[in-house]
Amino acid sequence: MAEYQAPLRDIRFVLNEVFEADKLWQSLPGLNGAIDAEMADAMLEEAGKITSQTIAPLNRSGDEEGAVWKDGVVTTPTGFKEAYATYAEGGWVGLGGNPEFGGMGMPKTLGVQVEEMLYGANSSFALYIALTAGSTLALDAHGSEELKRKFLPNMYAGTWAGTMCLTEPHAGTDLGIIRTRAVPEADGSYSVTGTKIFITGGEHDLTENIIHLVLAKLPDAPAGPKGISLFLVPKFLVNEDGSLGERNSVTCGSIEHKMGIKGSATCVMNFDGARGYLIGELNKGLNAMFTMMNYERLSIGIQGIGSAEASYQSAVEYARERIQSRAPTGAVQPDKAADPIIVHPDVRRMLLTMKAMTEGSRAFSTYVGMQLDISKFAEDEAIRKKGEDLVALLTPVAKAFFTDIGFESCVHGQQVFGGHGYIREWGQEQLVRDVRIAQIYEGTNGIQALDLMGRKTVANGGAFFQVFADEIQGFIDANGDAELAEFVQPLQAALTNLRELTAYVIERSASNPNEVGAASVEYLHTFGYTAYAYMWARMARVALAAGEDDGFYQGKLSTARFFFKRLLPRIHSLSESVRAGSEVLFEMDASQF
C-alpha cells in the first residue's frame, strides 16, 4: 500500500504556471502584501511534510479505532490529539483567518492546496480543521467586535475548535422547519434549547473548548427560513478575562456509527437552556451562515480531490508492481512469469481517468479559490462583482462534481487492485467508504444541482453563466493557433453545446417548473466536463510552451489528450438526457413504483 505523498509538483504547476497566482496576489491590495511566491512555496513544502509525515500515518489506524463516545465524552483515535497540536502550533488552523485576531490572512488560492493535502492524508482528521475554519468565517463576517475578540484568537490558534449546528432530526435540507428555540435573557444573551444531529466535531478531546454556531428561532420569529437566527454557544463559558468558566448546558447525546470517516465524531448535540450569543441580526441567520457556505462547500468538494489523489497514488504503484498475464502486443518482461498490469488497456483507462479528472479538479479548485480571493480582496467594484458572480455559479459545481468524480476515481482505484481492493489492508476500500459522504453532506449533490440549475441559472436568465461562458470564449479567441487546435476546437464545441443546453432549459422551465429538477444533475455534469475542458486547455497551453524535453509536461499533454478524446465526449449522452425533458419522470403514479 502506497504511503500518501503531497503532490507538490502538480500543485506548483497549477498554482504558479497555469494561474500565476503570485501576479493575482500582488494585484489585490486587500491582501496587504501578506504573501508572495517564495513564501507560498515554503508554506506548501511545510504543509506537504506535516500532512504526509504526521497526519497520513493516522488514517488507517484512525479508521480502525474510530471516535469513541462514553458518558457524553468523545475520545478521538490514538495520535489525533498529538497531530492536531502539532498542526495547530504551526498556525495552520488559522491559515485563512483575519490577521487582526491572530489569523494568518492567507488567500484561498493557497488554502485550497493545503486542504487537498489534508483530505488526501486523512479525511477524518481534516474535518475537525475544516469545521473550525468555516465557523470562524461566519463569526468574523457577522459577529460583534466583542465576540470576535473574545473567541477568534483561540479558534485561529487551534486552542478552541468550532462547529456548525444546522441539521435536526426532522429538518435537513428544509431548515425553515427547525425547532431549536432561543429565548432572550435580561443580560442580552439567549437561552438556546433543542437537538441537532450530524454535527461534525460536536464533541472531542482535541481542544479545551468547542464553539458551536447554532441555528435557532425566537418564540415570535416569522415562519420559515426568514425566522432563523444564528447564535454562538460555547461548550465552556468564557470569563471576562478570557479564561474558561463553567460548563454550558451543551451535551453530546451520542455519536453516529458510520460507513466511513470513522475518526471524525459525528454527534447528536443537545442544548438545554444553553447560554448563547446572537451573531449578526435577528432572523437573518441563514445570511450569516451562507457567508461561509461557499468556502465550506468548496472544502467538502476538495475532499473528493484529496481522496482521489490518494487512491491514484496507490493504484499506480500497484499497477506497476502487480504482474498478471502478458501485454496484448507481446511480453514486456519476458524474464518474468507475467507483465505488470499497467500494460493492459483497461487498467490504463482507469488510471488515466483518475489522473485526468483529479488534475482537472485540482485546476478548477484553484480557479474557484481565485474567484473567492477576487470577490473578497479586489478593490475595483466591477472585478469584485465578476468574482462574486462566478463564486455563486461555480460553488455548487465544485462541491458536487468534485465529489461525484472523486467517488468514481476511488472506485476505479479499488478496481485496479481487483480482489485486493476489497481487502482492508490495501486501503482502497477505506477511501471508497470515506469519500462517499462527501456527495451527501454540506447539501447533497442533488441539492447542489438544483441550486446551479434553478437559483444560479434559470432564476437570472443565465446571467451568471454568461460571465463564465464569455471568459472561456475569450480564451478560445486568444488561442487560435494550430498548435493548440486539438484542445481549443473541442473546447469550443463543448461550450457551444453548453450554451444551447442552458438556453433550452431556461426556455422549457418557463412553462414547466419540473424541467429544472429533471435537468439539474445531468446539466451540472455537462457543465463540469466543459469547465474541466477549459482547465485542461489552459494546462495544455503551458505544457506545450515548456517544450518536449521534460517528461512532466509531456505527461500533462498526454493526459490532456486522453481527457478530450475519452472523457469530454460524455457530455453528449448527458445533454441528450437533459433534452429528454421531465415528462418521462412523471408518467408513473407514485403507487406504481
Query: What is the tens place of the pLDDT at every residue in 520-534?
Result: 999 999 999 999 999
- Look at residue 1 and tell me whether its pLDDT is greater than 80: no
CA distances from 227 to 178, 266, 294, 357, 538 (A): 10, 27, 22, 41, 45
Residue 292 confidence (pLDDT) above 80? no
Residue 33 scores a pLDDT above 90: no
Q: What pTM does this model have? A: 0.97
DSSP-assigned beta bridge partners for residue 393: none
Active site (annotated) includes residue 442: yes
Please write down the HEC assignment for all residues of 215-265. Answer: EEECCCCCCHHHHCEEEEEECEEECCCCCEEEECCEEEEEECCCCCCCCCC
Tally of helices (H runs) and strands (E runs) in the chain:
18, 11
Task: Indicate the SS3 state at residue 544.
Answer: helix
Q: Predicted confidence band at 294 (pLDDT cuts at 50, 70, 90)?
A: confident
Mean pLDDT is lowest, of 23-32, 514-523, 531-540, for 23-32
- Which pLDDT belongs to residue 499? 98
The pLDDT tens digits for 195-242 are 999 999 999 999 999 999 999 999 999 999 999 999 999 999 999 999
CA–CA distance, 314 with 472 (Å, rounded to integer): 34
> What would the pLDDT profile of 115-143 be if each residue is shown by its tens digit?
999 999 999 999 999 999 999 999 999 99
pLDDT one-digit tens code per residue, 316-345:
999 999 999 999 999 999 999 999 999 999
Say which of 203, 442, 515, 522 is annotated catalytic: 442
Does residue 586 carry a pLDDT above 80?
A: yes
pLDDT of 227 reads: 95
pLDDT of 35: 94
> How much is the pLDDT for 388?
96
CA dist., res. 536 & res. 357, Å (int): 10
pLDDT-derived band at 25 (thresholds 50, 70, 90) equals very high
DSSP label at residue 166? -
CA 132 to chain centre: 15
Q: How many CB atoms lie under 10 A from the CB of residue 82?
A: 12
Task: Find the mean pLDDT for residues 297-323.
Answer: 97
- Structure confidence at residue 51 (pLDDT): 98
For 375-423, write each residue's pLDDT tens digit.
999 999 999 999 999 999 999 999 999 999 999 999 999 999 999 999 9
3-class secondary structure for 3-49? CCCCCHHHHHHHHHHHCCHHHHHHCCHHHCCCCCHHHHHHHHHHHHH
The band of 482, judged by pLDDT with boundaries at 50, 70 and 90, is very high
Looking at residue 60, what is its pLDDT? 97
Q: Which residues contact 385 (CB under 8 A, 6 or more apart)?
A: none
Which amino acid, 26? Q
Q: For residues 395 and 373, what is the distance between their CA atoms, to the nearest angstrom?
A: 14
pLDDT of residue 126: 98
State the residue for C-alpha cell 488567500. Answer: 107
Of the pLDDT bands very low, low, confident and very high (cuts 50, 70, 90), residue 289 is: confident
Q: Identify the band that residue 545 occupies on the pLDDT scale cut at 50, 70 and 90.
A: very high
Which of the four pLDDT bands, split at 50, 70 and 90, describes residue 549? confident
Which pLDDT does position 434 carry in this prediction?
98
Q: Kindly give the residue spans of alpha helices, DSSP state H, lying in 547-581.
A: 551-562, 570-579
pLDDT of residue 291: 80
Q: What three-state secondary structure class fits 122?
A: coil
Return the H-helix or E-strand segment holding 182: strand 181-184
